[in-house]
Amino acid sequence: MSRRSIAVVFAGSGGSGAMTAGAVFLRAAARAGYFGMMTQLFGAQVRGGESASLVQIGVDPIEAQPDRFDAFVALDWDKVEQFAAEIPLDDTSLIIADPASGPVPPGIAKAKGRVVSLAMTGAGESKLDRALLGKRVNMFAAGCLAALCGLPEQHIAGAVEAAFGSKGQDVAAANTARALAGAQAAPALALDLKLAPPRHNERWLISGNQAVALGALRGGVRFVGCYPITPATDLVEWLAPHLIKLGGRLVLGEDELASINLALGASYGGVPAMTVTSGPGFSLMVESLGLAIAAEIPLVLVDVMRAGPSTGIASKTEQSDVNLAIYGAHGDAPRVVLAPLSVADCAATTEYAVYVTESLQVPVIVLSDQMLGQATAVVDPVSDRPAPLKRKINGAGASQPFKRYATSGDAITPMPLPGTPDHEWVAEGLTHNEAGLPASGAAMHAAQIHKRARKIREFDAGERWGEVTGEGDTAILAFGSTVGPAREAARRLAEAGRQVRVIALRLLAPLPVKQLAQALTGVRRIVVIEQNDTGQLYRHLLGNKAVPVDAESVARPGPLPFRPSEIVNYVA
Amino acid sequence: MTDTITTASAATEPQHCVYDAKDFASGAHPVWCPGCGDFGVLAGLERALAKYGRGPHEVVLVSGIGCSSRLPGYMSTYGFHGVHGRALAAGTGLKLARPDLEVIVVGGDGDGYSIGGNHFIHTCRRNPDMLYVVMDNRVYGMTKGQPSPTTEPDWDSDIAPGGIGLRPFNPLAVAIAAGANYVARGFSGDPNGLAELIVDGLKWPGFAFIEVLSPCITFRPEQRDWKKMVRPSTLSVEQDRAAATALVLADDGFSLGVLYRGDRASIAPALPTETTMGDVEREFAP
């Protein structure tokens, strides 16, 4: 019987090429017309540490980590055991390894999976070739697994060439040869892992971090201030060359304090600007986030969340910056917080964030997380493009002196670009009067706070507040990377005859209370799922009376992702 | 035919406006104490900009927090009054995004050398084509008299009885070492001389840093004597980085004038657009 999906792990020590194996396997599947998703596990070493790539491919879109893996492919056994807790296996899992690598270590063997022997080193290669070119065990494994799943050799070869093409023809050819040797070794294993036929369509192979960057470019961001931080660095590394070619620029700040202020300076000058960070950097930026709110300067702030607090776990996921994103800053400092619903949605949500910040003149935080950001997925091309919204810059007809922060009329007041004659104004972080001059009176303080609050209160995200899937009187409320597993859980429950609604919240602040109330119509049981210990979203919902007090909170820390079965077990 | 050419050339001809120093004043009343040196710096900036010839709308004053950082509100130009210590970063972002604007960052010794010290170093290193004017009074004035990085080691204060006991920071030496292209010292008691330095600094390519001795007569009344201590620098070491460094290290801090001019390239400008979003998106094909 052919399968709808298959989940494979490639694991090995530093230099074994586990990541490349996963990437080639995923790309071959994408070229063959399948969907898929890959996440990665690393040891703590900076370079050369053991690693594992976790790949699921299938006929239908994949947005969640699988409950278990069908195959565990060991490129070698060196220190691989440490990943055991993060790679669920069972007695139907296949453990594929080269007997030359030694026995299966106890941490992997305890799942009692069936051990399959596969000689992965090329018998025909000379020792000199191996010394010069490496053993390419990873390509052999990727090719073999791809063939077991029924992926055609042309797509396996194409995927290897795409991965190695930039390294020269010799390297690409040698790797292709090993991958095809792996494919040819597949039939002898007599394993049935064949996937059902795919639906061929144009697809994208994209990571969440790349999708955020793409959305920013689509929205018109042409200035980025940033500082390296895991797991957000690969976002700006992909972004930098593309931004430069589009006439924009990226400035590497000396720290996050500089990064956000570089971006604010550029934005004041009229260029849509963004900064990209993770929790520790976000904490440093908070004072200047308050400035952007007080002085009403547009800014997209991307937080690719990692496990915290403090340095936490740099390379692993958690959804624990909700409080910081929604409330972080001294004083009353309302802002907009958006969270993408999937890897692909990172693009549309970030593009929308650019439009919202430009039109409201209030910073917009894009709350991604490591699980979304560093997952690579095969998706339908992102055609969802929010309608552009522009910054209000025309102050024509205004009185003199120009009242940048006028409090009567529209809460969104024109911010003429520097260079415009007769409209000079000061972006002011002190409590200011309508003309932007410092003012410390109670009445003006309240008037300016109310002006800024009104921008947020009157903001209507329309259909973009979130997405509702499914029916039923039980609702799972989720955001970010927990949406995928929640939807997969609901799908399985529906198959078992239990209808469950999933409410995926994109707009975390201001809470779309009205839309939520409508989405919750007829719901008797609400389960709020999030990956932090204190129920940060749950408390935010309760505080806004967006859910009743008997709503249930399922909150646990990262970095282990929510798996669909965990949610099914709770809800059922 | 002739008409067309006339019209076109008229449109591209720069408008020659003549500005007066008071065109650059906002009319707002400064919070500064009577006799504060910063009044002299404000006057020097207004005179310099009138002489420089660009209109108030083409100039942006960027500042952080402190007495002197209030200055943007007192001028009729565009302004950005941000958070404490980060003015150079905001100014750099603005200048890189809008090279057509004249960006002038202003502030005090606490803002620039203490909380903003890291940005000072790295802005010198990036060397953007903008001007930085520091009003140095060797004290935190707005918080009522604490020692700053440039305060003498034995200056007595409530927070550091008997003195802070630390050697003062040498901003000029740091600026030269870190890569600023133009380093000068001015005095608020001589607004005309200061205005000349400001015009000179605006014209010099790259990052121009002017340290201005600007007395705080409220918390440092002894600084009234600075007018007797300042003198023009006698040595001409402008182009020699090592000699300029030696000079500012040996100097008592009261030599005025241009102390160093470099010719290091600024951080590179943005490049022309050479791709499209369509091309970018095609890269995602598997």
- Asked whether residue B213 is domain-assigned, the answer is yes
Size of interface A-B (CB pairs under 8 A): 184
Name which of B101, B120, B106, B108 is nearest B74 in CA terms. Answer: B106
Find chain B residues with C-beta within 8 A of A423's C-beta.
Answer: 57
Taking CB atoms and an 8 Å cutoff, what residues of chain A touch B29?
A: none
Tell me how close the Cα of A293 comes to any Cα of chain B, in angstroms.
11
Residue partners of A563: CB distance under 8 A and separation at least 6: A64, A65, A66, A67, A88, A485
Q: How far is residue A59's CA from residue A195's CA, in Å, rounded to a whole number?
A: 8
Residue at B228 is within a domain: yes
CB-facing half-sphere around the CA of A238: CA atoms within 13 A: 23
For B:62-101, CB contacts with A below 8 A are 62, 70, 72-73, 76-83, 85-86, 89-98, 100-101
Note the pLDDT of residue B10: 40
Q: Which of A268, A291, A300, A376 should one mutate to test binding to chain B, selecting the residue with the greatest count of B CBs within 10 A?
A: A268
Distances (CA, A) of B163 to A566, B147, B158, B215, B242: 63, 8, 9, 19, 32
* Over residues A454-466, mean pLDDT: 97
Q: What is the pLDDT of residue B9?
A: 38
Average pLDDT over residues A196-222: 97
Q: Do A30 and B286 touch (CB under 8 A)?
A: yes
CB contact under 8 A, A261 and B286: no
In a domain, B65, yes or no: yes
Measured from the Cβ of residue A256, the count of other Cβ atoms closer than 10 Å reads 23
8 A C-beta contact, residue A152 and residue A29: no
The predicted pLDDT at position A80 comes to: 86
How many angstroms separate the CA atoms of A56 and A36, rounded? 5
Token couple for B21 = 């120093």
Is the CB of residue B60 less than 8 Å away from at least one CB of chain A?
yes
CB spacing of B79 vs A257 below 8 angstroms: no
Show Cβ contacts of residue A237 under 8 Å, excluding neighbours closer than 6 positions: none
Task: Name the CA radius of gyration of chain B, rounded.
Answer: 21
Rounded average pLDDT over A372-387: 96
Q: Which chain B residue has the Cα nearest residue A257?
A: B86
Would you say B48 and B199 are in contact if contact means Cβ atoms under 8 Å apart? yes
CATH code, domain carrying B48: 3.40.50.970
pLDDT at residue A492, as a whole number: 96
DSSP helix/strand/coil, A199: coil
- Rounded to the nearest angstrom, the minimum Cα separation between A476 and chain B is 32
- Best B70, B96, B100 residue to mutate vs chain A (most A CBs within 10 Å): B96
Ramachandran angles phi, psi of A553, nearest 5°: -110, 125
Q: List chain A residues with CB under 8 Å of B286.
A: 27, 30-31, 159, 162, 203-205, 378
Task: Select from A31, A218, A425 the Cβ nearest to the Cβ of B78.
Answer: A425
- Residue with the bigger pLDDT between A400 and A564: it is A564
Does pLDDT of A368 surpass 70?
yes
**Is B232 within 8 Å of chain A by CB?**
no
Among the CATH numbers 3.40.920.10, 3.40.980.10, 3.10.20.30, 3.40.50.720, which is that of A5-189?
3.40.920.10
Contact between B270 and A206 using a beta-carbon 8 Å cutoff: no
According to CATH, the topology of domain A462-571 is Rossmann fold (3.40.50)
Q: What is the ipTM for the molecules in this complex?
A: 0.95
Domain-embedded: residue B23: no
- For residue B91, give the chain A residue with the closest CA: A265
Q: What is the mean pLDDT of residues A267-274?
A: 98
Q: Which residues of B touch A434 (CB under 8 A)?
A: none
With vertex at residue A345, the alpha carbon angle to CA A308 and CA A355, rounded to the nearest 5 degrees, is: 95
Residue with token string 């024109």:
A414
Average pLDDT over residues A319-330: 98
Of B31, B55, B81, the CB nearest to A421: B55
Q: Is residue B1 part of a domain?
A: no
Q: Do domains A205-379 and A462-571 have the same CATH topology?
A: yes
- Would the CB atoms of A245 and B271 count as touching at under 8 Å? yes
Q: Residue A409 corresponds to which tokens in the numbers above?
A: 């009329």
Q: Which two tokens stand for residue A60?
A: 């239908």
What would the DSSP string read from start to end of A345-380? HHHHHHHHHHHHHHHHTS-EEEEEEHHHHT-EEEE-
Mean of the pLDDT values across residues A345-366? 98
Residue B12 belongs to a domain: no
Which residue stretches of chain B have pLDDT < 70? 1-17, 236-237
Predicted pLDDT of residue B269? 85
Tokens found for residue A390 = 């522009």
Verify cis geometry, omega within 30 degrees of 0, for the bond prior to B161.
Answer: no
Find chain A residues with C-beta within 8 A of B32's C-beta.
Answer: none
Tell whether B191 is covered by a domain.
yes
Residues of B in contact with A273 (CB under 8 A): 93, 97
- Do the Cβ atoms of A258 and B118 come within 8 Å? yes
Residue B99: domain span: 28-282
Which residues on chain B are in Cβ contact (under 8 Å) with A295? 80-82
Place of tokens 């001809």: B13
From CA A22, how far away is CA A17, in angstroms rounded?
Answer: 9
**Rounded Cα distance, B265 and B71, in Å:** 30
Contact (Cβ atoms closer than 8 angstroms) between residue B253 and residue B212: no
**Average pLDDT for residues A323-346, to the nearest whole number?**
98
Q: Name the helix (H) or strand (E) containing A449.
A: helix A442-457
CB contact under 8 Å between A258 and B78, yes or no, is no
Q: How many Cβ atoms from other residues are within 10 Å of residue A564's Cβ?
A: 21
Q: Is A264 in Cβ contact with B82 (below 8 Å)?
A: yes
Among candidates A214, A249, A269 on the partner chain, residue whose Cβ is nearest the Cβ of B270: A249
CA separation for the pair B268, B209 (Å, rounded): 19
Q: Do A247 and B118 touch (CB under 8 A)?
A: no
Query: Is residue A533 over pLDDT 50?
Result: yes
pLDDT interval class at A79 (50, 70, 90): confident
Contact assignment for A421 to B85 by CB distance below 8 Å: no
List, for residues A517-531, the tens digit of each pLDDT value: 999 999 999 999 999
Q: For A335, which DSSP code?
A: -
Interchain contact, B273 vs A246, CB within 8 Å: yes
Cβ distance of B277 and A217 shorter than 8 Å: yes
Total domains in chain B come to 1
| E strands in A316-463 | 336-338, 364-369, 376-379, 426-428
Closest approach of B260 to chain A, Cα-based (Å): 25
Question: What pLDDT was estimated at residue A133?
Answer: 57
* C-alpha span between A233 and A276 (Å, rounded): 8
CATH superfamily, domain at A205-379:
Thiamin diphosphate (ThDP)-binding fold, Pyr/PP domains (3.40.50.970)
pLDDT at A15: 82
Q: Give A2's pLDDT tier (boundaries 50, 70, 90).
A: confident
Residue spans per domain, chain A = 5-189, 205-379, 462-571
- Whether B11 is covered by a domain: the verdict is no
Tokens, residue A20:
């490349």
For the residues of chain B, what is the DSSP string, one character each?
A: -HHHHHHHHHHHSPP-----GGGGB--PPP-SPTT-THHHHHHHHHHHHHHH---GGGEEEEE-SSSGGGGGGGBSSEEEE-STT-HHHHHHHHHHH-TTSEEEEEEEHIIIIIITHHHHHHHHHH--S-EEEEEE-SSBTTTTSB--TTS-TT---SSSTT----PPP-HHHHHHHHT-SEEEEEETT-HHHHHHHHHHHHHSSS-EEEEEE---TTT-GGGGGHHHH-EE-----TT-HHHHHHHHHHS-S-EEEEEEE--PPPSPPPPPP---HHHHHHTT--
In this predicted model, which residue has the larger pLDDT, A126 or B202?
A: B202
